[in-house]
């Protein structure tokens, strides 16, 4: 079989010095010896355009990542006559046309759970970075300043603040768990309401989205990108948020309208925005989020710590081993199977 993987570039020197960077093209998810030892062809690249188009024509399996996404469009799926399996090394398969994959009988799977700790920790970090006005404070130090008044005038505790979590799956729940010791008031919104026992365990209460937005001092977005969440945070919703609130988005860039967010920050309606997801990715140098005020953006690395890379590399190997043997892939990993979008995280958005 032919397996094609599109992974982020690290450079030969960096990859060699850091073998834990399994998600980079040079280190190949640690799969080459395993795959070639079984007689399979393994093609790894960083190019997401013509090189990928040519490779997909005869590929049986495609491996992608959310951090350096190769967009597996309907057009690419139509041309990939042999394609049977698409795997995401990480979590989030929105870069794949799930409907087209289902129609062609292609299985789509991602390594669910591989990033949950990593992303939840990143969310809490970015909430604190915004609330404590860390980025301007750091810049002030680097530039040789000592302007305590300017920095402290925008610095806050998060104790007693209201935090709204949009998307209460594995990551959203772990964000809630990590925020509980800060003695914040926790609310959540999801298309499925958690059980009473889950709400008690995580210390969060359900609110409809519009109510959550208008009462929250901090909002964390932790839902997948689907047709129903694409630009969910449009201009109307951003300006419906509590004035002076912070917004943290480690889910997907397209859940937030690009220009509307810049407007909300320029107008001073939002106090700050942080996250590590953009659209498109990699973000172009002139992307407006790079220069908007009061942001604490990072490149998309929250879910690809060294520990997370080890988890998703191991998960990809498990999926391939099952696929080669004709055995079922881990149920929690399945996104599309048997001609339908099967994962509850996505299927609700594709229901008629």
Kindly report the CATH number assigned to the domain that includes residue 85.
3.40.50.720
- Active-site residue 287, yes or no? no
Q: What's the pLDDT score for residue 164?
A: 98
Question: Which of the following is catalytic: 95, 295, 300, 311?
Answer: 300
Burial of 327 by CB count in 10 Å (0-12 exposed, 13-18 middle, 19+ buried)?
A: exposed
Domain co-membership, 262 together with 134: yes
Per-residue pLDDT tens over the stretch 204-218:
999 999 999 999 999
Residue-averaged pLDDT of the chain: 96
User: In this model, does residue 351 exceed pLDDT 80?
Assistant: no
Domain co-membership, 231 together with 330: no
Per-residue pLDDT tens over the stretch 185-234:
999 999 999 999 999 999 999 999 999 999 999 999 999 999 999 999 99
Question: Which of the following is catalytic: 252, 254, 295, 311?
Answer: 252
Question: Which of the following is catalytic: 281, 294, 295, 309?
Answer: 281
Q: What's the pLDDT score for residue 162?
A: 98
Per-residue pLDDT tens over the stretch 237-275:
999 999 999 999 999 999 999 999 999 999 999 999 999
Q: What's the pLDDT score for residue 352?
A: 52
Domain co-membership, 217 together with 144: yes
Mean pLDDT, range 122-148, rounded to an integer? 97
- Active-site residue 300, yes or no? yes
Domain co-membership, 291 together with 325: no
Domain boundary residue among 262, 280, 297?
297
Mean pLDDT, range 287-310, rounded to an integer? 97
Domain co-membership, 99 together with 56: yes
Mean pLDDT, range 160-179, rounded to an integer? 97
Per-residue pLDDT tens over the stretch 334-345:
999 999 999 988
Domain co-membership, 265 together with 198: yes
Domain co-membership, 107 together with 122: no
Let me know how long the chain is.
352
Domain co-membership, 63 together with 45: yes
Mean pLDDT, range 101-130, rounded to an integer? 97
Domain co-membership, 321 together with 340: yes
Question: Which of the following is catalytic: 115, 249, 294, 309?
Answer: 115
Domain co-membership, 234 together with 266: yes
Domain boundary residue among 297, 322, 341?
297
* Cβ atoms within 10 Å of 41's Cβ, excluding its own: 14
Separation between Cα atoms, residue 7 and residue 29, nearest integer Å: 9
Say whether 273 sits in a helix, a strand or coil: strand
Separation between Cα atoms, residue 278 and residue 260, nearest integer Å: 14
Domain count for the chain, please give it: 2
* Per-residue b or e along 155-187, where b marks 16 or more CB atoms closer than 10 Å to that residue's CB: ebebeebbbbbbbbbbbbbbbbbbbeebebbbb
Per-residue pLDDT tens over the stretch 47-78:
999 999 999 999 999 999 999 999 999 999 99
Q: What's the pLDDT score for residue 344?
A: 87
Say whether 223 sits in a helix, a strand or coil: coil
DSSP state of 86: E
Instruction: Give me the percent of the chain exceeding a pLDDT of 70.
Output: 99
* Cα separation values, 220 from 130, 263, 279, 349, Å: 12, 19, 18, 21
Domain co-membership, 23 together with 101: yes
Domain boundary residue among 297, 316, 340?
297
- Active-site residue 156, yes or no? no
Mean pLDDT, range 25-53, rounded to an integer? 97
Domain co-membership, 332 together with 281: no
Vertex 171: Cα angle to 116 and 283 (nearest 5):
80
- Active-site residue 133, yes or no? no
Residue 104 domain boundaries: 2-113+305-350
């Amino acid at each position: 079989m032919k397996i094609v993987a599109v992974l982020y570039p690290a450079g030969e020197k960096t990859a060699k010095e850091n073998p834990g960077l399994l998600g980079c093209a040079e280190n190949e998810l640690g799969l080459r010896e395993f795959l070639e030892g079984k007689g399979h062809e393994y093609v790894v690249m960083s190019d997401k355009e013509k090189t990928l188009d040519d490779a997909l024509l005869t590929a049986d399996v495609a491996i992608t990542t959310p951090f350096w996404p190769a967009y597996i469009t309907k057009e690419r799926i139509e041309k990939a006559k042999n394609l049977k399996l698409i795997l995401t090394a990480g979590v989030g398969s929105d870069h794949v046309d799930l409907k087209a994959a289902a129609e062609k009988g292609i299985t789509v799977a991602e390594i669910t759970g591989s990033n949950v700790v990593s992303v939840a920790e990143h969310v809490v970090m970015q909430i604190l970075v915004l609330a404590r006005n860390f980025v301007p404070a750091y810049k002030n130090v680097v530039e040789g300043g000592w302007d305590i008044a300017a920095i402290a005038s925008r610095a806050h505790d998060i104790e007693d603040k209201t935090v709204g979590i949009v998307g209460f799956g594995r990551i959203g729940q772990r964000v809630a768990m990590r925020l509980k010791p800060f003695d914040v008031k926790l609310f959540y919104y999801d298309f499925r309401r958690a059980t009473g026992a889950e709400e008690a365990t995580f210390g969060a209460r359900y609110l409809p989205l519009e109510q959550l937005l208008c009462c929250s001092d901090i909002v964390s977005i932790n839902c997948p990108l689907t047709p129903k969440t694409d630009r969910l945070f449009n201009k109307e919703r951003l300006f419906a948020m509590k004035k002076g609130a912070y917004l943290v988005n480690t889910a997907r860039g397209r859940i937030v309208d690009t220009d509307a967010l810049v407007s909300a920050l320029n107008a001073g309606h939002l106090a700050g925005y942080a996250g590590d997801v953009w659209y498109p990715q990699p973000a172009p140098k002139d992307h407006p989020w790079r220069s908007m005020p009061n942001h604490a953006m990072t490149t998309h690395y929250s879910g690809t710590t060294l520990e997370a890379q080890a988890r998703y590399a191991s998960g990809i190997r498990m999926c391939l081993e099952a696929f080669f043997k004709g055995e079922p892939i881990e149920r929690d990993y399945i996104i599309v199977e048997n001609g339908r979008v099967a994962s509850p995280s996505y299927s609700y958005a594709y229901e008629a």
